[in-house]
Structure 1
């Protein structure tokens, strides 16, 4: 007993109770439960990809939305093609893509992707890639040739690219810009304080911002980035990160819940409630002036990309400058 009559827990009991409370906070809530992928559309896309030995980040990163996006409930579906193989030269602690053991690029991959896009019937394509620090140009030329192959086949297809940081080399970023994608995305992933241990040490906050700023300064395209929540960030850090991204010229941002791919990956610090994601959406759009913010526990950087704001604006014929003026006038 304490001098006031209040029981005092032993350090052992206190530690156990703290651990129990922490595990309860990390227990996956109902709003994160997903149905397994299924359906004819899902099967068709999978067969098309396998026939051409192509990869998607949907599968390689174990995305929880794979079934929903591939099924395309209200349209042709969305698949995010992952270029340059299924092994990454970096080892980010949140990512389920295998690392090391890099293989030679498939010179036919750009045309294979263009063929698959046509067969699946996509009118909005998302391309991403593993990091290829082992290559002289880090894969920028291969990435750009894939964009060009799709556009050459059908200039009306909208192409969104989610690019690596290319170690901040502006010439390699420019090569992507020259290929003519409609949206260029690069993910900051998390707040500055948590870049390590969340990301590989070769990545970095300022380096990623420099890539986004380079795109915004040199290209007449939409710029986009994404943040994971639930890795230990504070609210003021989220706000600062969003502000820094807007200052760098980012138009579109997505926020989603980090989910641990396996026990060997980074722990989930907390599961963020859907109401908090909605609050951040309002802050991003109404206060900070992003043109569009997709924010929710299951949102990913390329989540149902063809149904997002950018697709609607471009199909409507509005210019990027017009959309930006409208958004800024509303803030």
Structure 2
């Protein structure tokens, strides 16, 4: 596995820093409620834009992951935190932000019997209680393939079920820890079988050694299980100890890949160097709903 110093970034990866009142307010609120965000923990490059627009992705179940994926900046180790009041605090924060779309993700909690599925379900319910009109998207781990854990989440009926395959099949074992490409596809397939009306979503990061043909094959694999939404973004190395960037993908290639995805039937494809799984997530709900309505009209 190649690691090392970061390769200089091209001009199209420059980030506009926006740290105005909204950014500072959200930062202070998250701290006061002892909440974690994937925006901070994963060092997301869009944190300034999203927080300035009062959008955040809550990370539940603590900030220590039981896995050590080679691309991820989240801390790894043995978690000690299981806060049963966390769903209510997330809902309070969402209400305070007056969110119209709320994204909830988590670290992997392989130490828990249900992988944290019950906390996901409780968080969905708590948000809906305070904000009935707010759509809720969950970005879940693979629960080690446990169908019962997935069913707990799906029974809570999130508006979007997101699980990332992260990379192409050939590179999956090198890039991810414990997670398996085919198991991730199976999870997304089961989610759709359990709740056919709930859109499913996945993400692929580019620049870790994949070929164009492999990206297109991953799209085909996702569409074969009726995955609705796809996001494509550039992998950025969090530190010299992490997986090295093999190449920086040009925006023109991202645009071409977006067309590849739309041609294959995804209801929405978000594709660009700075795109992350939850980037512009609110607009994806509308696209998925419109596609679903159009399909129902043709039936």
TM-score (normalizing by structure 1): 0.85
Match of 1:322 among 290, 293, 297: 293
Q: Is the 8 A contact 1:148 1:180 kept in 2?
A: no
SS in 1 for 2:123: helix
SS in 2 for 1:321: helix
Higher RCO (Cα < 8 Å, 6 or more apart): 2
User: How far apart are 1:116 and its partner, in Å?
Assistant: 0.4
The answer to whether 1:68 aligns with 2:49 is: yes
Match of 2:66 among 89, 106, 117: 89
> In structure 2, how many angstroms separate the alpha carbons of the residues matched to 1:172 and 1:196?
23
Match of 1:310 among 285, 288, 291: 285
The answer to whether 1:241 aligns with 2:222 is: no
Partner of 1:298: 274
Q: Is the 8 A contact 2:108 2:141 kept in 1?
A: yes
User: How far apart are 1:170 and its partner, in Å?
Assistant: 1.3
SS in 2 for 1:294: strand
Partner of 1:208: 184
Q: Is the 8 A contact 2:268 2:288 kept in 1?
A: no
> In structure 1, how many angstroms separate the alpha carbons of the residues matched to 2:81 and 2:44?
26
User: How is 1:237-276 mapped onto 2 (pairs within 5 angstroms)?
Assistant: 237-276=214-253
SS in 1 for 2:105: strand
> In structure 1, how many angstroms separate the alpha carbons of the residues matched to 2:139 and 2:107?
10
User: How is 1:110-259 mapped onto 2 (pairs within 5 angstroms)?
Assistant: 110-200=87-177, 202-219=178-195, 220-259=197-236
RMSD: 1.8
Higher Cα radius of gyration? 1
User: How is 1:47-62 mapped onto 2 (pairs within 5 angstroms)?
Assistant: 47-62=28-43
TM-score (normalizing by structure 2): 0.94
User: How far apart are 1:121 and its partner, in Å?
Assistant: 1.2
User: How far apart are 1:123 and its partner, in Å?
Assistant: 1.1
User: How far apart are 1:248 and its partner, in Å?
Assistant: 1.0
Q: Is the 8 A contact 1:226 1:254 kept in 2?
A: yes
Q: Is the 8 A contact 1:48 1:120 kept in 2?
A: no
Moved more, 270-279 or 43-52: 43-52
Unaligned 5+ runs, structure 1: 1-22
Summarize deviations over 1:271-328 as a string: whole Å, max 9, x none. 0000000000001002x1111100000000001212x2323664xxx5x6324468x9
